Amino acid sequence: MSERIEDTGTLVEDHRLTPGTAKALRVAAGHVVQIVDLEGQQVGDFIAYRADAPGEYLSPAHTCSCLVKLVPAVGDELFSNHRTPLMRILRDDVGSHDLVVPCCDPERYSRDYDLHDHPSCLAGLQAALDAFGSDWPLHGELAWNVFMNNHLEDGRIVTYAPPHGAGSSIDLLALTDLVVCLVACPQDLSPCNNFAPSDMALRVWDR
Protein backbone atom coordinates (compact mmCIF):
# COMPACT_ATOMS: atom_id res chain seq x y z
CA MET A 1 0.00 0.00 0.00
CA SER A 2 1.72 3.18 -1.15
CA GLU A 3 1.55 6.30 0.97
CA ARG A 4 -0.99 8.88 -0.05
CA ILE A 5 -0.01 12.40 -1.06
CA GLU A 6 -2.96 13.65 1.02
CA ASP A 7 -1.09 12.53 4.14
CA THR A 8 2.36 13.79 3.23
CA GLY A 9 1.97 16.73 0.83
CA THR A 10 0.76 20.32 0.72
CA LEU A 11 -2.11 21.17 -1.60
CA VAL A 12 -1.12 24.06 -3.88
CA GLU A 13 -3.88 23.98 -6.53
CA ASP A 14 -7.43 22.58 -6.45
CA HIS A 15 -9.86 23.10 -9.34
CA ARG A 16 -13.30 21.53 -9.74
CA LEU A 17 -14.28 20.83 -13.33
CA THR A 18 -17.85 20.35 -14.46
CA PRO A 19 -18.39 18.14 -17.54
CA GLY A 20 -16.98 19.80 -20.64
CA THR A 21 -14.90 22.31 -18.71
CA ALA A 22 -11.14 22.25 -18.31
CA LYS A 23 -8.30 23.91 -16.46
CA ALA A 24 -4.76 24.59 -17.67
CA LEU A 25 -2.01 25.33 -15.18
CA ARG A 26 1.73 25.33 -14.73
CA VAL A 27 3.30 22.52 -12.66
CA ALA A 28 6.83 22.68 -11.29
CA ALA A 29 9.15 19.69 -11.53
CA GLY A 30 8.79 17.62 -8.39
CA HIS A 31 5.17 18.55 -7.80
CA VAL A 32 2.43 15.96 -8.07
CA VAL A 33 -0.57 16.33 -10.38
CA GLN A 34 -3.62 14.58 -8.99
CA ILE A 35 -6.68 13.80 -11.11
CA VAL A 36 -9.70 13.02 -8.97
CA ASP A 37 -13.04 11.58 -10.03
CA LEU A 38 -15.26 13.26 -7.46
CA GLU A 39 -18.47 11.34 -8.14
CA GLY A 40 -17.36 8.11 -9.84
CA GLN A 41 -17.48 6.47 -13.30
CA GLN A 42 -16.03 9.56 -14.92
CA VAL A 43 -13.28 9.95 -17.53
CA GLY A 44 -10.94 12.91 -17.90
CA ASP A 45 -8.83 13.89 -20.87
CA PHE A 46 -5.35 15.07 -20.02
CA ILE A 47 -2.67 16.85 -22.02
CA ALA A 48 0.75 18.17 -21.00
CA TYR A 49 3.46 20.29 -22.60
CA ARG A 50 7.02 20.99 -21.55
CA ALA A 51 6.79 24.49 -20.09
CA ASP A 52 10.09 25.52 -21.69
CA ALA A 53 9.44 23.82 -25.03
CA PRO A 54 5.76 23.59 -25.96
CA GLY A 55 6.68 21.73 -29.14
CA GLU A 56 7.39 18.79 -26.86
CA TYR A 57 4.28 17.31 -25.28
CA LEU A 58 2.89 14.20 -23.68
CA SER A 59 2.32 11.68 -26.45
CA PRO A 60 0.06 8.69 -25.78
CA ALA A 61 1.43 6.89 -28.86
CA HIS A 62 5.06 7.37 -27.85
CA THR A 63 4.18 6.34 -24.30
CA CYS A 64 2.70 3.06 -25.57
CA SER A 65 5.77 2.53 -27.73
CA CYS A 66 8.28 3.27 -24.95
CA LEU A 67 6.42 1.11 -22.42
CA VAL A 68 5.61 -1.60 -24.96
CA LYS A 69 2.10 -1.75 -23.51
CA LEU A 70 -1.28 -0.15 -24.11
CA VAL A 71 -2.07 0.81 -20.51
CA PRO A 72 0.50 2.39 -18.18
CA ALA A 73 0.65 1.29 -14.56
CA VAL A 74 2.06 2.55 -11.25
CA GLY A 75 5.79 3.15 -11.61
CA ASP A 76 5.59 3.72 -15.35
CA GLU A 77 6.69 6.97 -16.96
CA LEU A 78 4.69 8.96 -19.48
CA PHE A 79 6.69 10.03 -22.50
CA SER A 80 6.84 13.00 -24.84
CA ASN A 81 6.85 13.03 -28.62
CA HIS A 82 10.64 13.06 -28.26
CA ARG A 83 10.53 10.01 -25.95
CA THR A 84 11.52 12.06 -22.90
CA PRO A 85 9.86 10.95 -19.66
CA LEU A 86 7.64 13.83 -18.51
CA MET A 87 5.72 12.26 -15.60
CA ARG A 88 5.72 9.13 -13.47
CA ILE A 89 2.62 7.40 -12.09
CA LEU A 90 3.01 7.30 -8.32
CA ARG A 91 -0.38 5.85 -7.42
CA ASP A 92 -3.53 4.87 -9.29
CA ASP A 93 -6.85 3.83 -7.77
CA VAL A 94 -8.34 2.85 -11.12
CA GLY A 95 -5.77 1.26 -13.43
CA SER A 96 -7.82 1.43 -16.63
CA HIS A 97 -6.92 4.08 -19.20
CA ASP A 98 -7.15 4.57 -22.94
CA LEU A 99 -4.19 5.87 -24.93
CA VAL A 100 -5.50 4.87 -28.34
CA VAL A 101 -8.58 6.90 -29.24
CA PRO A 102 -8.57 10.70 -29.45
CA CYS A 103 -10.60 12.78 -27.03
CA CYS A 104 -14.16 13.56 -28.07
CA ASP A 105 -14.43 16.51 -30.43
CA PRO A 106 -17.24 18.36 -32.21
CA GLU A 107 -16.95 16.00 -35.18
CA ARG A 108 -17.48 12.98 -32.90
CA TYR A 109 -20.95 14.30 -32.04
CA SER A 110 -21.87 15.60 -35.49
CA ARG A 111 -20.63 12.50 -37.35
CA ASP A 112 -21.84 9.83 -34.95
CA TYR A 113 -24.90 11.41 -33.30
CA ASP A 114 -25.98 14.20 -35.69
CA LEU A 115 -25.55 16.68 -32.83
CA HIS A 116 -23.96 19.93 -33.89
CA ASP A 117 -23.59 21.87 -30.65
CA HIS A 118 -22.69 19.17 -28.13
CA PRO A 119 -19.88 20.07 -25.70
CA SER A 120 -16.65 18.13 -26.23
CA CYS A 121 -13.33 17.49 -24.56
CA LEU A 122 -11.47 19.15 -27.42
CA ALA A 123 -13.50 22.35 -27.13
CA GLY A 124 -13.06 22.36 -23.35
CA LEU A 125 -9.30 21.88 -23.59
CA GLN A 126 -9.07 24.63 -26.21
CA ALA A 127 -11.04 27.06 -24.06
CA ALA A 128 -8.77 26.35 -21.08
CA LEU A 129 -5.60 26.83 -23.13
CA ASP A 130 -7.04 30.10 -24.46
CA ALA A 131 -7.79 31.26 -20.91
CA PHE A 132 -4.27 30.27 -19.88
CA GLY A 133 -2.98 32.59 -22.59
CA SER A 134 -1.39 29.95 -24.76
CA ASP A 135 -1.55 29.63 -28.51
CA TRP A 136 0.08 26.21 -28.42
CA PRO A 137 -1.38 23.75 -30.89
CA LEU A 138 -3.91 21.28 -29.53
CA HIS A 139 -4.54 17.91 -31.12
CA GLY A 140 -7.22 15.57 -29.84
CA GLU A 141 -5.08 12.50 -30.42
CA LEU A 142 -2.59 13.84 -27.88
CA ALA A 143 -5.08 13.56 -25.04
CA TRP A 144 -4.74 10.69 -22.61
CA ASN A 145 -8.18 9.29 -21.74
CA VAL A 146 -7.68 8.93 -17.99
CA PHE A 147 -9.82 6.21 -16.32
CA MET A 148 -11.48 5.25 -19.63
CA ASN A 149 -12.56 1.61 -19.59
CA ASN A 150 -11.87 0.53 -23.17
CA HIS A 151 -11.03 -3.04 -24.07
CA LEU A 152 -9.68 -4.63 -27.22
CA GLU A 153 -11.93 -7.52 -28.21
CA ASP A 154 -11.18 -9.40 -31.41
CA GLY A 155 -9.59 -6.29 -32.84
CA ARG A 156 -12.49 -4.03 -31.87
CA ILE A 157 -12.33 -1.21 -29.31
CA VAL A 158 -15.23 -1.69 -26.90
CA THR A 159 -16.13 0.95 -24.32
CA TYR A 160 -17.57 -0.16 -20.99
CA ALA A 161 -18.87 1.97 -18.15
CA PRO A 162 -16.03 2.58 -15.71
CA PRO A 163 -16.54 0.57 -12.50
CA HIS A 164 -14.53 2.89 -10.24
CA GLY A 165 -16.21 4.86 -7.49
CA ALA A 166 -16.31 8.41 -6.15
CA GLY A 167 -13.01 9.81 -4.94
CA SER A 168 -10.86 7.59 -7.17
CA SER A 169 -7.66 9.35 -8.17
CA ILE A 170 -4.30 9.05 -9.89
CA ASP A 171 -1.10 10.82 -8.80
CA LEU A 172 1.45 11.89 -11.42
CA LEU A 173 4.90 13.19 -10.51
CA ALA A 174 6.12 15.98 -12.80
CA LEU A 175 9.66 15.13 -13.91
CA THR A 176 10.17 18.52 -15.55
CA ASP A 177 8.35 21.86 -15.51
CA LEU A 178 5.06 21.34 -17.34
CA VAL A 179 1.87 23.01 -18.44
CA VAL A 180 -0.96 20.53 -17.97
CA CYS A 181 -4.64 20.66 -18.85
CA LEU A 182 -7.51 18.40 -17.79
CA VAL A 183 -11.11 18.31 -19.03
CA ALA A 184 -13.98 16.33 -17.52
CA CYS A 185 -15.42 14.43 -20.49
CA PRO A 186 -19.01 15.50 -21.36
CA GLN A 187 -19.80 12.30 -23.34
CA ASP A 188 -23.34 11.33 -22.24
CA LEU A 189 -24.23 9.15 -25.24
CA SER A 190 -21.89 6.20 -24.69
CA PRO A 191 -20.88 4.09 -21.66
CA CYS A 192 -17.66 6.17 -21.42
CA ASN A 193 -19.01 8.03 -18.36
CA ASN A 194 -21.90 5.62 -17.75
CA PHE A 195 -24.18 8.05 -19.65
CA ALA A 196 -23.99 10.56 -16.78
CA PRO A 197 -20.93 12.85 -16.89
CA SER A 198 -19.96 14.33 -13.53
CA ASP A 199 -17.36 16.56 -11.92
CA MET A 200 -13.64 15.94 -11.58
CA ALA A 201 -10.88 17.78 -9.72
CA LEU A 202 -7.42 18.78 -10.90
CA ARG A 203 -5.11 19.18 -7.94
CA VAL A 204 -1.41 19.90 -7.56
CA TRP A 205 0.55 18.86 -4.47
CA ASP A 206 3.98 19.81 -3.19
CA ARG A 207 5.39 16.72 -1.54
From the list 23-31, 53-61, 116-124, 146-154, the region that binds Zn ion by CB under 5 A is 116-124
Contact call for residues 145 and 103 (beta carbons, < 8 A)? yes
In terms of CB distance, is 71 or 189 closer to Zn ion?
Answer: 189
Cβ atoms of 18 and 185 within 8 Å: the answer is no
104 binds Zn ion (CB under 5 A): yes
Binding mask 119-158 for Zn ion (x = CB under 5 A): --x-------------------------------------
Residue nearer to Zn ion on the CB measure, 39 or 77? 39
User: Residue by residue, what is the 3-state secondary structure of 17-82?
Assistant: ECCCCEEEEEECCCCEEEEEECCCCCCEEEEEEECCEEEEEECHHHHHHHHCCCCCCCCCEEEECC
The number of residues in the chain equals 207
CA distance 7 to 200: 20
- Mask for 167-186, x = binds Zn ion (CB under 5 A): ------------------x-
Q: Shortest distance, CB of residue 68 to Zn ion, whole angstroms? A: 27
Indicate the residue among 86 and 183 with the shorter CB distance to Zn ion.
183
Q: Which residues of the shown chain bind Zn ion in the complex (CB under 5 A)? A: 104, 121, 185, 187
